[in-house]
Structure 1
Amino acid sequence: MGVDLVQGLLREKFVLVMEDEYFIADDIARALTEAGAQVVGPFGHVHQGLDRLKVEPNINLAVLDINLNGTKVFDLAAQLQELGVPFIFATGYGFGHLPEQFAKVPRWEKPFDVSSLANALAALDKSRG
């Protein structure tokens, strides 16, 4: 997995993981945990992420699969934008027809290296100050 490269990069960061495929969700959660993050989730339904945002004010970053069990994640993404929480889209379906408001959101196409994803989240966190 290459976690030695990312160990500690996300220390004390709460990362929301929205992924409906068990093995991918598990890989992402493990890599983020080994990078020092506190993983919130993973959740496979949009409503679970929206509910979690109401009770978990400490979310710093997020990884969002665009299609969660047949539901697009855009309502949750808009909520994260409103809260100023940086996030990455991760999907196996391509990125056609993303709403304009998400045009600048980093995108990862599955399959991807989860350690690289952890590095990208750390860079995204640093870029916001």
Structure 2
Amino acid sequence: MRRFSGLKVLVVEDEGMVALMIEDMLHDLGFKVVASVSRLADARAVAAEVEADLGVLDVNLAGEPSFSVAEILRERQIPFIFSTGYGLSGLPDEFADQPLVGKPFSTSELQQTIEAALSR
């Protein structure tokens, strides 16, 4: 399953085990994880500078929403997806049409959501 071979991804996830699981899934799909961060301030700083083709953003980072990171990626025209256990109801209107994968998710669900983001 090396569908996305060579594409670079930023992972923003505050739960260590979940981050490792997502990174493994992304590697299986062919992505190169160029950064994996768990805190909002770090995520904003990395998002502003990282060379990435995609972002995978947990909506809730230790109680803080990651929407400011999404805004940075959007401004830089880097596609991104949200991962969340809250569903669409956890997204503000400005991100309501953003591809979202609900936790827990499978590699194929992650792949489908990424494909939706990259085809926009």
**TM-score, with length taken from structure 2:** 0.88
Structure-1 residue corresponding to 2:89: 96
Q: Percent identity?
A: 37
Greater relative contact order structure (CA < 8 Å, 6+ sep): 1
Choose 1 or 2 for highest CA Rg: 1
The yes-or-no answer on 1:23 pairing with 2:10 is no
Corresponding residue pairs, total: 120
Q: Tell me if the contact between 2:99 and 2:116 (Cα under 8 Å) persists in the aligned partners.
A: no
Counterpart among 99, 103, 106 of residue 106 in structure 1: 99
Q: CA RMSD in A?
A: 1.7
The yes-or-no answer on 1:116 pairing with 2:117 is no
* SS at 2:53 equivalent: strand
Report the Cα distance in structure 2 between the residues aligned to 1:54 and 1:75, rounded to whole angstroms: 11
Q: Tell me if the contact between 2:48 and 2:73 (Cα under 8 Å) persists in the aligned partners.
A: no
**TM-score, with length taken from structure 1:** 0.82
**Amino acid corresponding to residue 89 of structure 1 in structure 2:** F
User: Structure 1: 5+ residue runs without aligned partners?
Assistant: 1-6
The yes-or-no answer on 1:84 pairing with 2:73 is no
User: Structure 2: 5+ residue runs without aligned partners?
Assistant: none
